[in-house]
């Protein structure tokens, strides 16, 4: 029997509650979702929106990536609560670091990826998560970073420009109707990285609410991690 893939759909996967351990002494809680039978072809490390505005590992795009992509694209998805953040999975140690101390959280996630030998890691940052990816992603052995609704509030011009010539791919997915950074301004702010893959989404909004916007975002992710499986099915 086929089912239509909608907002609450969770497709089959091997799901494991995990803990990440930061070098400054905190334990972060998260989940690793792997393809049910196959080995993953790539890995998505998800960095959630601003904790002080309600962002956490279950923020809907990140939750749906973990719910769908292991089954639809053979992609492993690691998602976790940044320091001080709570969800039904639990509460991560520490307290909100305003994008500074979170560098240790990303390092702990990448150490986990290394220990588990997860292949071809990519960062997926959403809003605040894009700041962490931009500021600290180049310190780690990643294929690239996908920036979803980047506000560019914390990443400096120098940190953005450092991606130019780095050999790591940078993808900016910019909603036409974003609350913080719309395509025209985003094109200017990212001009220092000429090789950036710039995606302006007509009708898109910062929170990507609705199945059509979710589908577009996940399709852009899969276009980088495993493009051979596109288009993503709408039935399973």
Domain assignment present for 38: yes
Q: What percent of the chain has pLDDT over 90?
A: 100
Residue 136: the pLDDT is 98
The burial of 109, by beta-carbon neighbours within 10 Å (0-12 exposed, 13-18 middle, 19 or more buried), is given as buried
CATH classification at residue 42: 3.40.50.1820
Domain assignment present for 150: yes
Residues 6 or more apart whose CB falls under 8 angstroms from that of 94 comprise 22, 24, 26, 83, 84, 101
Domain assignment present for 27: yes
- pLDDT by residue (tens digit) across 157-216? 999 999 999 999 999 999 999 999 999 999 999 999 999 999 999 999 999 999 999 999
Domain assignment present for 193: yes
Domain assignment present for 231: no
Domain assignment present for 216: yes
pLDDT (average), residues 90-106: 98
Per the structure, the count of domains in the chain is 1
* Model confidence at 1: pLDDT above 90: no
Cβ atoms of 75 and 45 closer than 8 Å: no
Residue 122: the pLDDT is 99
Which residue range is the domain that position 169 belongs to? 14-226
Domain assignment present for 3: no
Domain assignment present for 66: yes
* Model confidence at 14: pLDDT above 90: yes
pTM: 0.98
Q: In the structure, what pLDDT confidence band is assigned to residue 17 with cuts at 50, 70 and 90? A: very high
- pLDDT by residue (tens digit) across 104-146? 999 999 999 999 999 999 999 999 999 999 999 999 999 999 9
* Model confidence at 21: pLDDT above 90: yes
């Amino acid at each position: 029997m086929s089912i239509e893939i909608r907002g609450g759909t969770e497709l089959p996967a091997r799901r494991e509650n995990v803990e990440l351990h930061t070098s400054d002494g905190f334990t972060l809680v998260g989940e690793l979702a792997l393809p049910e039978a196959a080995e993953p072809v790539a890995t998505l490390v998800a960095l959630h929106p601003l904790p002080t505005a309600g962002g956490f590992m279950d923020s809907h795009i990140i939750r749906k990536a973990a719910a769908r992509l292991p089954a639809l694209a053979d992609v492993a998805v690691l998602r976790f609560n940044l320091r001080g953040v709570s969800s039904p999975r639990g509460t991560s140690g520490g307290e909100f670091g305003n994008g500074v101390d979170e560098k240790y959280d990303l390092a702990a996630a990448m150490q986990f990826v290394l220990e588990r030998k997860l292949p071809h890691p990519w960062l997926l940052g959403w809003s605040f998560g894009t700041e962490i990816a931009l500021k600290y992603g180049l310190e780690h052995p990643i294929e690239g970073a996908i920036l979803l609704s980047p506000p560019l509030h914390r990443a400096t011009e120098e940190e953005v420009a450092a991606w130019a010539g780095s050999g790591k791919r940078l993808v900016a997915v910019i909603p036409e109707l974003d609350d913080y950074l719309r395509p025209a301004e985003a094109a200017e702010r990212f001009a220092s990285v000429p090789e950036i893959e710039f995606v302006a989404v007509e009708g898109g909004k910062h929170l990507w609410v609705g199945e059509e916007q979710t589908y577009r975002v996940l399709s852009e992710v899969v276009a980088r991690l495993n493009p051979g499986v596109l288009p993503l099915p709408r039935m399973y």
